[in-house]
Amino acid sequence: MIYAVLSGFVLALLAPALYRLSARWSGVVFSVFPAILALYFLSHMEAVVGGEAVRVAWPWMPAMGLELSFNLDGLGLLFALAITVVGTLIITYAGSYLHGHPSLPRFYLFILMFMASMLGVVLSDNLIALFIFWELTSVTSYFLIGFEHDKDTARAAALQALLVTGTGGLALMAGVLLMGQIGGSFEISALAADNAALQGHRLYPLVLALVLAGAFTKSAQVPFHFWLPSAMEAPTPVSAYLHSATMVKAGVYLLARLSPVLGGSDIWLYVVTGFGAATMLASAYQALYQTDLKKILAYSTVSVLGTLTMLIGLGDKLAIKAAMVFLMAHVLYKAALFLVAGSIDHETGTRDIRNLGGLRKTMPIICAGAAVGALSMAGLPPFFGFVGKEALYEAVTHGNLPVTVIAVLTSMLLFAVAWLAGIRPFSGAETHTPKHAHDPPWTMWLGPVFLGCLSVLFGFMPVLPEKLLSAAASSVLAKEVHMHLALWHGFNALLVLSLVTFALGVLVYWQLETIKRVTAFALPAVHRGPSHWYALWLRFLNWSAVGQTRVLQNGYLRLYLATIMTVTAVLAWYTFLTYGDVTVVAMDWGDIGVHEWVVGLVALVGAIATVRAQTFLRAVMALGVVGYSVALIFVLYGAPDLAMTQFLIETLSLILFVFVFYYMPPFKRFSRRVVIVRHAVIGTAVGAFFTLLVLVATSVQWHPTISTYFSENSYLMGQGRNIVNVILVDFRGFDTLGEITVLAVAGIGVYSLIRLRLGKGRGS
Amino acid sequence: MNPFSALTPIVLLGLTPLVLMLVISFHRSHRLAVVISLVGMALPLALLAGTATSAAPPLAPLLIIDGYALFYIGLLSTATMVVVVLSYGFLERVPGNREEFYLLLTLATFGCAVLTASNHFISFFLGLEILSVSLYGLVAYLRTTRTALESGIKYLILAAASAAFLLFGMALIYADLGTMDFTAMTSVLAAKTREPSVLLLGGFGMVIIGAGFKLAVVPFHMWAPDVYQGAPTPVTAYLTTVSKGAMVALLLRYGQYGGLLDYDSVASVLAVIAVLSMFLGNLLALLQDNLKRLLAYSSIAHLGYLLVAVIAASREGSHAVTFYLVAYFITSLGIFGIITALSDERKEADEISDYRGLFWRRPWVSGALSLMLFSLAGIPLTAGFVGKFYVLTAGVLSDLWALVILLVVSSVIGLYYYLRIIITMYLSAPEDPSSPLSATRRFSLPEGLVLAGLTVLLIWFGIYPAPLLSAIQAAVGSLA
Amino acid sequence: MEALLAIVIGVLYASGVYMLMRRSIVKLIIGLALLAHGASLLVFTAAGLTRAVPPVIPYGEKAVTGVADPLPQALILTAIVISFGVQAFAMVLAYRAYQTVGTDDLDDMKATDT
């Protein structure tokens, strides 16, 4: 099974080469691969519906306790089949749809990679692996949405999609890590077996919020739903695959997969159901206002995703069963309708429903496919969509009233939407379209027709997919369930509800313009709202970045220094006032001899004179005074070697200063008074802190230190009496080597700067 | 065993500049200088295999050559080799003497090696200064350009000032603990009460300033954008990798021995620094149109992520830091390598607009660059993802929930500007061919090999990091 | 004496920090020099002062106690020499910048900023 998942990545890398061999029939050639995979997964059907899960594991990063483990159970199989079967049809379709497109090889590369990642998501048992595949679907979908890279809108849509799903992905990553840490394992099966520890933990709400953020962004739940309609900029095969059958369902998949782990709590029930219900109604409503065929389908997809989320949130046996049936019905009709929309666009040159009509005459085969899809979507018998809708009603009527009302309203709206998208372009009088319409080649009608046939077949004989759906529901509920699906349940309350829905739906379609006009007031709230926030958020980021650049990063070195020093001073004073003990500071002025006073005061005066000096020479001279006073202090306190070095170095650097800067003009007065005061305050704060710390350091009890080692061993081991010298030469020859190195480096640096003039001189 | 034989890798690194200097004074040859530098960096690497297993004799307490030091020396000298290869192509295009560049570069790496093995404040200070002083020269190497001089001055002043603070910190810690030896500190600290003295805390603060400056974390980060932009690109690559890596290595060791992370107040200061770095770095990167500047900000953010793992301080934390660093090295070297290799005599390829439509002219290069950017953004199947994941795991294991969440939030911002560059590459090329960058320069064979190698490593460690992880565990395990 | 020295150190650091924030590059380098003096004096003082007894072992003895602490002195020596190297480099760099840009005003040097 590992090969089944990973072979897609290998094939993806070979895609450009393979494309060259098969240019004309590339779509058909590439579709063989998902077809084989579909057969492979079908071959496991027997075992899986029998309740056996196929599990394989392979150590990946053992150091991090991570293994690549795949688990093929009912839920996984349902999704894997959807991915591979629809994938086969889409790739066949795309070969013709994008025929002659210069970037077609790239399309195959990314779509195969996407398919493999998607299989990884639905089959991984390890949360980390799941997350990795999850992110890969985001990245590959980014390239697929932005396929028409020269269109600004396509790029913006791709970026928006990736930003929204990527944000959710990062949240999911944090959630997964927390889950693994709390639950003690990254294996979903292990976590599900012991979910009490997780749900009882105080961080459970945080974990849930993070995971839901990931799932909701991926599955386009309100308020993150705006990216999905924008993503319709993608080529139609991509929309059909990513935005109906697979990627957007990943969020729903995650919720279903984790519901044994995280589900069952009150907060899960209210949050998941609430978001799902809001999404299903709001998007179905928005779909009414669209005129672009693909956008209509996109909003209706969001609505269905909301329905599925709502059902998983409810989480009881009926709801989960309904979710599985509804999901399968949706895959069958929505992929077909997207492909139909693509064919219409391809053959007529427009997707605007206001310009389309009467296509039944010119595109009869496509028309048949579209009709089946639309009727199934509308929930009419004898199509599988009807079975799905009945299951939905059965679940919500066992739930509560608000949800039932929302479900009926949504179905009513979707009925009208289905008519708009699948029936209207084919009915009525023929219209003038940019291209003269006719039926596309067989590769492009195969998909809708095949899926339509399945819709009809499963509608008449719902017993066919029954076992698979039962197995899928069993893995979501973590206990064995059996369902019995039938087209005809007898004349009961559910049927009445359906009939009411149809009646209302017809009414909505008939009075569409009136309804749109009357309810238009609500549109800005649901439509403009979230994408407006997205834009605002981007603007806010930009604005704060601009502000910071101006304030903090303005290129003035002294401002950089001032910031660093201010931070230092504030932190230092804070620490001192919190932890410091000022009482230990002993200001003992009595022990200072006259000569010490003199040296100290000279150093002070020198420092102040350096700061106040008006010309360069005076400043350097004052600096020299400071340097020599420091050397004198070294002499007074038992460090003759230091003093000697200090004298020498001070003299050298004075000479160098004068050499280099002799011709500099007098200092100009650059800064304003207020700046000078500000800097003086910062300097004083730093200096005063240092004074205090030195006082503390010298006041605390001095303890004998490691360096007595040197006093004791200097003569014995080093044969020298000047301990500093012995340290430097014998014990620490390395220091001296280091000093010499630093000086040498400085020398090289100086040389490399100075030689420029020579170089210039030679050059000119 | 003679304790000095353990020093061989460092001695060899120190000999390289000497040999270079001698050779330069007799015979100037750019090629020869490159070869000597490469050999000088490669020799210790070859030796590492032999010495890694031997015990670690502490060398009269200045240096410790343990598995940890050897691992980092290996990492840093490998990175230096990459920089040397990149520099060759770069320096061929600029006028003036080129050989001294390698002298400074190898010296800087010598300083870094001292830092990674240092076990004492004196060797810490020495190593740092050898590194810094070489970097002053490297940053200002293109003396003819105003920006290089300017960057040089900014870097020098700030680095020298931070060194003065670092010295102050060392003096305070010495005054409190009575030792400058890291190993000895451990025992002194163990004997003390948990209540930290103000001297120790003040000292820690100053050490953090000194280290924070080299790492360019907020609020000591301000030099980074100006210097990154103004310095020659190979030097920028060096600044962002080797120089920071050595400092991180030292910080980890000092953290283990010197008790830096044992106090809550220090940890919270570091946490604030980490959070500020992540957010400010990522936010400021949003606006940049200059790629080098953008990477400067992004590296500020990445060091912020890294600090989270440093704060975690656990064994996992040290492993995570090291892994993250390796991933970061590969990625940064790769990106700066591509910038260098795409530049030609007329123009450095450092504006994002220079990359418009690159995909259509150089699909392989832009593919590699995309992978590197994905790695910086932490997208799976790249080394950057595993690194980020590991850091997050370390944070979670140490119960640093808030930091983990903040890390995730700030990475979201990062996603945006990395993608912006990638998008630019896949746009169609500008119709107006007045863009000064033709990006037609063919890569030399070594450049091509190095960049391909980095890309392969990036993917390899992203898909199968197990060997690297176990190597890191073995090496870092020798710490403490 | 510690009290006096503490004040001297404080003033040295304060004036160094102040000078670092000037616009003239030359003043910056002078600031660095002041900081360097402050730093060496500080290490010296913080390590404990011992009046006029250099860490030298008199003839006839094998070891001494009660002398100035030799280890910080080694650090100071290193610091003095290194700061000289840095200053020398800084001067040349500033000089080159002065030649190229024609001013020693740092505010004229922000070409790298966008």
What CA–CA distance (Å, rounded) separates A224 from B146?
A: 49
Report d(CA B85, CA B448) in Å as an integer: 10
Percent of chain A surpassing pLDDT 70 = 88
Higher pLDDT residue, B58 or A104?
A: A104
Element (H or E) spanning C86, and its range? helix C70-101
Q: How confident is the model at residue A13 (pLDDT cuts 50, 70, 90)?
A: confident
CB contact under 8 Å between C77 and A739, yes or no, is yes
**What's CA A202's distance to the chain center, in Å?**
26
In whole angstroms, give the CA distance from residue A118 to residue A133.
Answer: 7
Residues of chain A with Cβ-Cβ distance to C73 below 8 Å are 639, 641-642, 724
> What distances in angstroms separate CA C110 from CA A550, A669, C30, one per listed residue?
13, 19, 21
Across the interface, which of B126, B179, B469 has its CB nearest the CB of A61?
B469
- A65 close to B469: Cβ distance less than 8 angstroms: no
Q: How far is B49 from chain A (nearest CA, A)?
A: 22
Q: Do C112 and B140 touch (CB under 8 A)?
A: no
**Are residues A363 and A344 in contact, defined by beta-carbon separation less than 8 angstroms?**
yes
- How crowded is residue B344: how many other Cβ atoms within 10 Å of its Cβ? 16
Whether residue A110 has pLDDT greater than 60: yes
ipTM of this complex prediction, to 2 decimal places = 0.87
Tell me which residue in A159, A545, A581 faces B286 most closely, judged by beta carbons: A545
Give Cα separations from B329 to A578, B75, C87 (angstroms).
Answer: 40, 9, 32
CA distances from B422 to A167, A218, B358, B368, B370 (A): 18, 22, 10, 11, 6
- Contact yes or no for A592/C6 (Cβ under 8 A): no
| Cβ–Cβ below 8 Å for B154 and A549 | no
Backbone angles phi, psi at A59, to 5 degrees: -65, 135
For residue B324, the model assigns a pLDDT of 94
CA distance B15 to chain A (A): 11
Out of B96, B198, B226, the one facing A756 most closely (by C-beta) is B96
| Cα–Cα nearest to B416, from A167, A123, C55, A735 | A167
pLDDT of residue A758: 40
What pLDDT score does A727 carry?
A: 60
Is A693 close to B428, i.e. CB distance below 8 A? no
Does residue A408 surpass a pLDDT of 50? yes
Quote the tokens at residue B94: 């600029």
Q: What is the pLDDT of residue A763?
A: 32
Amino acid identity, residue B151?
A: S
Residue with tokens 């569409």: A512
Tell me the pLDDT tens digit for each residue of A465-493: 888 889 899 888 888 888 888 777 777 88
B: neighbours with 3+ CB pairs under 8 Å? A, C
Task: Give the 3-state secondary structure of residue A59.
Answer: strand
The residues, ordered by sequence, that sit 6+ positions from A412 with a Cβ below 8 Å of its Cβ are A501, A504, A505, A508
Six-digit token string for B133: 């002083």
Residue-level pLDDT at A692: 85
Q: Do A557 and B158 touch (CB under 8 A)?
A: yes
Nearest to C112 among B143, B144, B230 (CB): B230
* Residue A54 host element (H or E): strand A54-61
Count A/C contacts: CB-CB distance under 8 Å: 297
Mean pLDDT per 10-residue section of chain B, whose length is 480 residues: 69 89 88 92 79 52 83 94 93 83 92 91 90 91 80 88 87 84 84 76 88 90 89 94 94 86 84 92 87 93 94 80 95 94 81 84 88 90 90 86 87 84 78 57 86 94 88 79
- Tell me what the pLDDT averaged over chain A comes to: 83
Residue whose C-alpha is closest to residue C104's, from C90, C85, C84: C90
Nearest to B97 among A206, A549, A755 (CB): A755
- pLDDT at position B236: 95
Q: Do C112 and B121 touch (CB under 8 A)?
A: no
Answer whether A711 touches B (CB < 8 Å): no
- The whole-angstrom distance between residue B31's C-alpha and the CA centroid of its chain comes to 26
- Mean pLDDT computed over A606-619: 87
Q: What is the amino acid identity at position A682?
A: I
DSSP E strand stretches across A688-731: none
Residue A431 CA, distance from chain mean position: 44
Nearest to B171 among C32, C46, C97 (CB): C46
Q: A592, A626, A705: best mutation site toward chain C, by most C Cβ within 10 Å? A: A626
What pLDDT is attached to residue A276? 93
Q: Contact A683/C80, CB-based, under 8 Å?
A: no
Please say whether the beta carbons of B233 and B343 come within 8 A. yes
* Interchain contact, B104 vs A734, CB within 8 Å: no
Q: Identify the helix (H) or strand (E) that includes residue A219.
A: none
| Separation CA B183–CA B173 (nearest Å) | 14
Three-state secondary structure string covering chain B? CCHHHHHHHHHHHHHHHHHHHHHHHHCCCHHHHHHHHHHHHHHHHHHHHHHCCCCCCEECCCEECCHHHHHHHHHHHHHHHHHHHHHHHHHHCCCCCCHHHHHHHHHHHHHHHHHHHECEHHHHHHHHHHHHHHHHHHHCCCCCCHHHHHHHHHHHHHHHHHHHHHHHHHHHHHHHHCCCEHHHHHHHHHHCCCCCCHHHHHHHHHHHHHHHHHHCCCCCCCHHHHHHHHCCHHHHHHHHHHHHHHHHHHHHHHHHHHCCCCCHHHHHHHHHHHHHHHHHHHHHHCCCCEHHHHHHHHHHHHHHHHHHHHHHCCHHHHHHHHHHHHHHHHHHHHHHHHHHHHCCCCCCCCEHHHHCCHHHHCHHHHHHHHHHHHHHHCCCCCHHHHHHHHHHHHHHHCCCHHHHHHHHHHHHHHHHHHHHHHHHHHCCCCCCCCCCCCCCCCCCHHHHHHHHHHHHHHHHHHHCCHHHHHHHHHHHHCCC
Class of residue B428 by CB neighbours under 10 A (exposed 0-12, middle 13-18, buried 19+): exposed
Q: Which two tokens stand for residue A313?
A: 């949130």
Contact list in C for residue A756 (CB cut-off 8 A) is: 96
For residue B320, what is the nearest residue in chain A, using CA coordinates? A64
DSSP A50: T
Q: Is C110 part of the contact surface with chain B (CB cutoff 8 Å)?
A: yes
Neighbours of A707 (CB within 10 A): 23
- Chain A, residues 241-300, CB within 8 A of chain B, namely none
Contact (CB, 8 A) for C84 and A653? yes
- pLDDT of A757 > 50? The answer is no
User: CB-CB: which of A670, A708, A727 is closest to C24?
Assistant: A670
User: Pick the residue with more confidence: B7 or A342?
Assistant: A342
Query: Residue C67 is encoded by which pair of tokens?
Result: 């002398």
Residue C49's pLDDT is what?
Answer: 62
pLDDT at A759: 39
Q: Is C108 on the interface with A (CB under 8 A)?
A: no
Tokens of A398: 């066992």
pLDDT tens for residues A269-288?
A: 999 999 999 999 988 988 88
Name the DSSP letter for residue A226: T
Find out whether B216 and B223 touch, Cβ atoms under 8 Å: yes
Q: Give the predicted TM-score (pTM) of the model.
A: 0.86
Residue C65: pLDDT above 60? no
The β-bridge partners of B290 are B351
Looking at residues A436-444, what average pLDDT do you find? 80
Residues 6+ apart with CB under 8 A from B282: B297, B298, B301, B410, B411, B413, B414, B417
In chain C, % of residues over pLDDT 90: 15
Residue C111 in this model has a pLDDT that exceeds 70: no
B410 compared with A540, residue with greater pLDDT: B410
Q: Which two tokens stand for residue B282?
A: 């990522």
CA atoms of B379 and B420, how far apart (whole Å): 15
Give the model's pLDDT for residue C74: 77
Type of residue found at B293: R
Report pLDDT for A764: 29
Tokens of A587: 């200001």
Contact criterion met (CB below 8 Å) for A92 and A31: yes
Cβ–Cβ gap A579/B196 under 8 Å = yes
β-strand pairing of B58-59 with A66-72: unpaired
Chain-centre distance for alpha carbon A553: 28
pLDDT at A65: 66
From CA A206, how far away is CA A200, in angstroms rounded? 12
Of A209-218, A356-365, A517-526, B6-15, least confident by mean pLDDT is: A517-526
**Cα separation of B395 and B214, whole Å?**
24
pLDDT band at A553 (very low <50, low <70, confident <90, very high): low
* Cα–Cα distances in angstroms (integers) from residue A747 to residues A207, A515, C75, in the given order: 58, 84, 21
β-partners of residue A57 are A69
- In whole angstroms, give the CA distance from residue A9 to residue A108: 11
Better-predicted residue by pLDDT, B50 or A687: A687
**Where is pLDDT greater, at A545 or B27?**
B27
- Output DSSP code: residue A423: I
B380 prior amide bond cis, ω within 30:
no
